[in-house]
Amino acid sequence: MIAEPRDVQAIFEAALELTSAEARADYLDKACGDNQVLRDRIEQLLQVQSKVGDFLESPAPGIAASLASFDQKEASDGNDVATRDDADALELPGQQIGHYKLLHEIGRGGMGVVYMAVQQEPVRRKVAVKIIKPGMDTKEVVARFEAERQALAMMDHPSIAHVLDGGGTDSGRPYFVMELVEGKPITKYCDEFRYTTRQRLELFAQVCQAVQHAHLKGIIHRDLKPTNILVTDNDHGVTAKIIDFGVAKALYQPLTDRSLYTQASQMIGTPLYMSPEQASSTSLDVDTRSDVYSLGVLLYELLTSTTPFERERMDQSSDDEVRRIICEEDPPTPSTRLSTLDGALDTVAENQQTDPRTLSQSLRGELDWIAMKALEKDRTRRYESASELAKDVQRYLEDQPVEACPPSTPYRLKKFARRNRGLLTTSLLVAVVLLLGTGISLWQASDARRARDQAEKNFHQAREAVDTYLTEVSENELLNAPSLQPLRKDLLELALRYYQGFIQQQPDDADLQAELADAHERLGEITSLIGSAEQALQAHRQALSIREKLVARHPTSPTHQQALASSLRNIAQQSMHIGQTDQALAQHQDAITVLEKLVDQYPRVSEYQSDLAESYRFLASSQKTLGQQDEAEDSYGKAISMSEKLVEENPAVRQYQYELARSYNLGANLDCSLGRLSEGIARLEKAILIQGAILQQEPENLKFQEAQADFFGDLALAQRTLAQFEEAMTFCGKAISIQEKLANENPSVLQYQSRLAIYFQTQSFLHIDLGQFEEAVTCSEKGISIQEKLLEQDPDGMEIRARLGSLYAALAQSQSSIGQLEDSLASYEKSILLFEKLVEEYPMIERPTLPRTYLNVAVAHFRLGQMQKGLDYSQKALSVYEKFAEQHPDVVDHQQSLAAVHYNIAHTHYLMGEFDVATEHLRKEIAILETLLERVPSIVKSLLKLDMAYFKLAKILRDAGDEDVAAEAWRKFIEIATDVNHDEANIHLWGHVGQAHYRLGNWQQAREALEKGIEQRGDNNPIYGFGSGSEWWFLAMTLHQLDETEQARDIYDQLVAMGEKSPATNQFNAPFRAEADEVLGIVQPTTKQDEQESPVEPVSSELD
């Protein structure tokens, strides 16, 4: 039996793909059968190939022409290819050809032999020398050889091998010299170095531009394939080089004057990468779009590690069958092809640093469309040029809309009808149109007369249509358009119904089950944005139920394991939102257990590491919320370690950068809660820097925008703790600016609205800190308006109620600051009702805002003169904070709040004349703050509170008649105040320092401090608001002590006049005026009541 040249080539190339000697022998047994001559020839070729490697493969026709002569005279066509042994005529290593000394053979094919050589003059360098093989110098081969040399000489592109020289050997055979490309085939390189999908696309775009350069020079390659595209890595970076223009065709002029023609039965190129027009006709009908098709095959292979048509099937088919397959059959999309790879899929995904399911999902949609557009049978529907293909790939990489799109329904119907002319009648065509148009599955159109395989094919077409047009299109197109989330939710619910229908037809289909679980998961994600946490949790539980069954049936599948971990993590997050804290922690731990096993089994898959880092980050956040600080720090340490490693190893993956920024943000929150404020701010600045860089690359990405707003908001809170109020206000404003835009443009996304309300609350606190009380009221009311609307949509929402309670507390504090005490109490009561209900429903979650609100209500009652009521609320706050501090002694906020409660209780007892009890509570406050400052000396807020505790203690001791001990307290107060950075200090501090010096008789120091205090506050006259006048009264008394009596009396008169205009101010300043009357000798004092500083500043209601 004589083998056709195509068969010889096919067997040879297929055998080359097998690296195992045993597998190769088994294959040759089957392929060659009893044809020993064929077997011997193939083994001879394989032996030669093993010595020379795969630097440069010759084109398929060349191999066919060469091998055809081994056992048939018919293979010669009048240009007889010599059948004698020409080994003696081969050049040998060490031989000199022109300026080039041959070193060793590095490649050969049907047309030529390639040697590595050294050029000796005029420069010394290594080159590649290609020489026509002995006996192959027919007119056709010589013409092709000359064509390749001329084609290379015409081009000048960094990604195309350059021709350097040419000539003839001593025996007269032509040769040419080109740059030496020491690289690996592009697919092999990408797999060995585990290039991600993005990196593969970037390298592919580089190849497209090189092909475009050849086309502009009038050259069509006609044999683009991985072994003709080598990748090198040198000092200039990674570069793809196109080689072997042995079957190139000129568009506009002949590449050679010699005869160059193709036999009628011979295909030019490699069938696996060959366009339909190239396979079915002569080269006269081939244009640049044929290379676009080959690029489409290359893209397909880079994404899936396989070709559109199965290699084994093509190898075992005759030439006519190969032509039919190429010209008539439609290959599956890349994402669909992945599902047929079975066990190989894990390796394919691992080589792209991801997992099978994520890889499949990333290909669906736009990458499928791009590849299939390049692979269109009708070349008029392909990309017009290689550069257009490259541009579409680049658009995908930049998250811009791509030119490619799914084929239209009429076009798909036309193709379907062409493939099934014998099966379809006109009425059936109409039915198919209706079914496709409404999304109903095509398998229902099958009846008993249709073959089972056709029904199966239709079933998969229907499934792919639903998957593409409902689930995947809704995800890819609407994911970054939150305003369309309600529509997306409807699409997902529709997809769910179709999947459930499919499963009724094929209940054992694991892929269908997995898709159904994915749809439930996506529905849960959307519902969490636009609906309630309970509804989202229900969707995630349905996904979990399916995935648990899949894992039970396929326990070794990493894809199902990863999906299971995703469901566990989602349920944990939603459980935290509704207060099911024990379940949340357990589910987080379960997810981590699954992912740790995956990371151990597949250490090279970065996607699993990323999922594990995210799970640890979510666990740490939940532990922090529950006050489990040590556990949270341990979980955070694991998360940040993995995130930093991922970014280091994958610097181009923006998702990993985003996750690292999120991890820094979480670490900052942990630091701040433990009083490590400088470390926390440093981490936040890192997060903001990373996120800013990401946003420069993707400025329209809403997830990245929201994260940056979050980081700005947290930085504002940290700076507020350090009393850096102006800086905090700046960053809070940045957060509001970003979040307002997100909320206004996407009103259906509840999460955006809720975050905006939080930032308004922070801004309200900062306005209070800066004495801007009217602005504080406005901000609180804005936040409350948002949260009340959200509560209408989700009345049971735990987080919504908690945030609304915090906002009512902030509003109450603002109202109290401007003297609206009754309104303030009403707002506080609303806050208390909400928080007491939450504590009852969710006792495991600490609510620090509740005791703070108790404390602020106490202050409001003090100002109304309702001392016992105020004391009752103070005791409530004390009870809660003592419990917090005992359970979590390392949490700075709890210690500071406990100290503040003691201060307020002391103040209450002082006003009630119970000096001993007041002194006792002040000394407790001082002990707490001094202990805290020993551990965390950077807390300016605690230092200021300690300072004021000594100030208050000195006043109480003085009123109690203990002047000497009071003097020690005054001096301690001045000592601490001197160490405080006054740019970060309370605006009253200088005034208090002045009062302390006045009590100690340091008149000049008192004057300087009081004037600094007035200057710092911007008070250039004594007409100021409620609770702000003590500095002026003490300045008047100090000037009198310095014998500047006229100026002292002038200030006194202005203050009295102001009091007459404002009864509230007059009442507040009454103690100061009484003492000033006595000092200035205006009236005799009627009581020993000392000055009373402005009522205690209420403790701010921080975020829950």
H-helix or E-strand containing 212?
helix 197-216
Q: Which residues of 409-419 are buried (b: 16+ CB within 10 A; e: fewer)?
A: eeebbeebeee
Write out pLDDT tens, residues 220-233: 888 899 989 999 88
Q: Provide the 8-state DSSP code for 795.
A: T
Q: Across-strand partners of 176? A: 130, 166
Q: Provide the 8-state DSSP code for 160.
A: B
Distances (CA, A) of 933 to 15, 479, 677, 986: 76, 48, 13, 18
Distance CA 229, CA 270 (A): 14
Beta 184-185 vs 229-234: how paired, if at all? antiparallel
Q: Report yes or no: 178 and 230 within 8 Å, Cβ to Cβ.
A: no
- Confirm whether 995 is domain-assigned: yes
Distance of CA 749 to the CA centre of its chain: 19
Residue 911 has pLDDT above 60, yes or no: yes
Which one, of 685, 686, 694, 683, lies nearest residue 658 by Cα? 694
Which segment of 889-898, 952-961, 1013-1022 scores lowest on mean pLDDT? 1013-1022
Residues 996 and 948 in one domain: no
The pLDDT assigned to 565 comes to 92
The pLDDT assigned to 490 comes to 56
- Confirm whether 384 is domain-assigned: no
Count other C-beta atoms under 10 Å from residue 1067's C-beta: 10
For residue 603, give both structure tokens: 């250490």
Distance CA 339, CA 669 (A): 43
Radius of gyration of the chain (CA): 40
- Confirm whether 1057 is domain-assigned: yes
Percent of the chain past pLDDT 70, that is, above it, reads 73
- Counts for the chain of helices (H) and strands (E), in that order: 47, 11
The pLDDT assigned to 770 comes to 86
Q: Across-strand partners of 117? A: 102, 127
Please tell me whether residue 364 adopts helix, strand or coil conformation.
coil
Here the CATH number for the domain that contains residue 1079 is 1.25.40
Write out pLDDT tens, residues 790-816: 888 778 777 788 889 888 988 888 888
Distance CA 211, CA 892 (A): 64
Which segment of 64-73, 365-374, 838-847 scores lowest on mean pLDDT? 64-73
Confidence of residue 401 (pLDDT cuts 50, 70, 90): confident
Which one, of 202, 397, 405, 225, lies nearest residue 308 by Cα? 225
Write out pLDDT tens, residues 935-985: 767 666 667 777 778 888 888 888 888 888 889 988 888 888 877 654 444
For residue 367, give both structure tokens: 């990458």
Average pLDDT, the chain: 76
Count other C-beta atoms under 10 Å from residue 730's C-beta: 15
Confidence of residue 428 (pLDDT cuts 50, 70, 90): very low
Distance CA 687, CA 676 (A): 17
Distance CA 4, CA 19 (A): 25
Mean per-residue pLDDT, 391-397: 91
Write out pLDDT tens, residues 439-459: 333 334 344 444 445 445 444
Note down the domain range covering 783. 747-841
Q: Across-strand partners of 160? A: 242
**Higher pLDDT residue, 475 or 42?**
42
Mean per-residue pLDDT, 881-899: 80
Which one, of 580, 679, 686, 615, lies nearest residue 892 by Cα? 679
The pLDDT assigned to 553 comes to 86
Judged on CB neighbours under 10 Å (0-12, 13-18, 19+), 241 is: buried
Q: Report yes or no: 106 and 215 within 8 Å, Cβ to Cβ.
A: no
Residues 861 and 963 in one domain: yes
Percent of the chain past pLDDT 90, that is, above it, reads 23
Residue 994 has pLDDT above 60, yes or no: yes
Which segment of 371-375, 817-821, 822-826, 1015-1019 scores lowest on mean pLDDT? 1015-1019
Beta 163-168 vs 249-250: how paired, if at all? unpaired
> Which residue, of 823, 841, 859, is where some domain finishes?
841
Write out pLDDT tens, residues 852-889: 888 888 877 877 788 888 899 889 989 888 888 887 77
| Block residue for tokens 């404003």 | 733
Distances (CA, A) of 711 to 56, 663, 734, 736, 820: 54, 11, 10, 11, 34
Distance of CA 732 to the CA centre of its chain: 24
Residue 1096 has pLDDT above 70, yes or no: no
Residue 281 has pLDDT above 60, yes or no: no
Distance of CA 842 to the CA centre of its chain: 32
Distance CA 778, CA 894 (A): 29
Count other C-beta atoms under 10 Å from residue 211's C-beta: 29
Write out pLDDT tens, residues 337-361: 998 887 788 889 989 988 888 898 8
Distances (CA, A) of 185 to 24, 53, 226, 302: 21, 12, 5, 11
**Higher pLDDT residue, 504 or 1035?**
1035
Residues 813 and 799 in one domain: yes
Write out pLDDT tens, residues 619-655: 998 888 776 778 888 998 999 999 999 888 888 778 8
Residues 1057 and 1093 in one domain: yes
Residues 968 and 850 in one domain: yes
Which segment of 361-370, 679-688, 694-703, 736-745 scores lowest on mean pLDDT? 694-703
| Block residue for tokens 């557009």 | 373
Mean per-residue pLDDT, 273-294: 82
For residue 964, give both structure tokens: 């000497």
Q: Report yes or no: 1048 and 1080 within 8 Å, Cβ to Cβ.
A: yes
Please tell me whether residue 105 adopts helix, strand or coil conformation.
strand
Residue 784 has pLDDT above 50, yes or no: yes
The pLDDT assigned to 506 comes to 56
* Dihedral over alpha carbons 87, 91, 94, 100 (to 10 degrees): -170
Handedness of CA 311, 312, 315, 316 (dihedral sign): negative
Distances (CA, A) of 424 to 276, 430, 445, 760: 25, 10, 11, 65
Confidence of residue 771 (pLDDT cuts 50, 70, 90): confident
Residue 119 has pLDDT above 70, yes or no: yes
For residue 437, give both structure tokens: 């148009």
Residues 850 and 964 in one domain: yes
The pLDDT assigned to 919 comes to 92
Residue 496 has pLDDT above 70, yes or no: no
- Confirm whether 615 is domain-assigned: no
Residues 823 and 857 in one domain: no
Residues 1103 and 1015 in one domain: yes
The pLDDT assigned to 524 comes to 74
Q: Report yes or no: 341 and 306 within 8 Å, Cβ to Cβ.
A: yes
Distance CA 849, CA 754 (A): 18
Segments of 112-228 assigned E as strands: 112-119, 125-132, 163-168, 174-179, 184-185, 219-220
The pLDDT assigned to 605 comes to 77
Distance CA 1064, CA 773 (A): 17
Residues 918 and 994 in one domain: no
**Direct distance between the N- and C-terminal alpha carbons of the chain, in angstroms, rounded to an integer:** 85
Residues 966 and 941 in one domain: yes
Distance CA 669, CA 675 (A): 10
Q: What is the identity of the amino acid at 685?
A: E
Residues 830 and 862 in one domain: no
Distance CA 571, CA 539 (A): 9
- Confirm whether 485 is domain-assigned: no
Mean per-residue pLDDT, 668-685: 85
Residue 394 has pLDDT above 80, yes or no: yes
Please tell me whether residue 1069 adopts helix, strand or coil conformation.
coil
Residue 1103 has pLDDT above 90, yes or no: no
The pLDDT assigned to 508 comes to 65
Which one, of 580, 565, 564, lies nearest residue 614 by Cα? 565
H-helix or E-strand containing 941?
helix 940-959
Q: Provide the 8-state DSSP code for 657.
A: H
Does the model's pTM come out above 0.85? no
**Total domains present in the chain:** 3
Mean per-residue pLDDT, 130-146: 69
Confidence of residue 19 (pLDDT cuts 50, 70, 90): low
Which segment of 117-121, 256-260, 564-568 scores lowest on mean pLDDT? 256-260
> What's the CA angle centered on 1040, arms 1034 and 1044, to 5 degrees?
120
Give me the phi and psi of 183, to 5 degrees please. Answer: -140, -175
**Higher pLDDT residue, 52 or 665?**
665
- Confirm whether 406 is domain-assigned: no
Which one, of 152, 326, 386, lies nearest residue 248 by Cα? 152
The pLDDT assigned to 730 comes to 95
**Higher pLDDT residue, 746 or 1026?**
746
> Which residue, of 973, 1003, 1036, is where some domain finishes?
973
> Which residue, of 781, 814, 841, is where some domain finishes?
841
Q: Report yes or no: 1035 and 1005 within 8 Å, Cβ to Cβ.
A: no
Here the CATH number for the domain that contains residue 756 is 1.25.40.10
Please tell me whether residue 104 adopts helix, strand or coil conformation.
strand
For residue 161, give both structure tokens: 């091998």
Give the side-chain half-sphere CA count within 13 A for 864: 18
Which one, of 601, 533, 614, lies nearest residue 566 by Cα? 614
Residues 889 and 948 in one domain: yes
- Confirm whether 663 is domain-assigned: no
Q: Report yes or no: 12 and 315 within 8 Å, Cβ to Cβ.
A: no
- What strands, in cross-sheet order, belong to the sheet with 237-242? 184-185, 229-234, 237-242
| Block residue for tokens 């065709």 | 249
Which segment of 103-117, 754-768, 1021-1035 scores lowest on mean pLDDT? 1021-1035
Count other C-beta atoms under 10 Å from residue 989's C-beta: 21
The answer to whether the annotation marks 101 as part of a ligand binding site is: no
Residue 59 has pLDDT above 70, yes or no: no
Distances (CA, A) of 584 to 569, 659, 702, 800: 8, 21, 27, 19
Which one, of 572, 573, 614, lies nearest residue 595 by Cα? 614
| 869 Cβ contact partners less than 8 Å away, ≥ 6 residues apart | 858, 861
Q: Report yes or no: 472 and 448 within 8 Å, Cβ to Cβ.
A: no
- Confirm whether 522 is domain-assigned: no
Which one, of 266, 293, 294, lies nearest residue 280 by Cα? 266
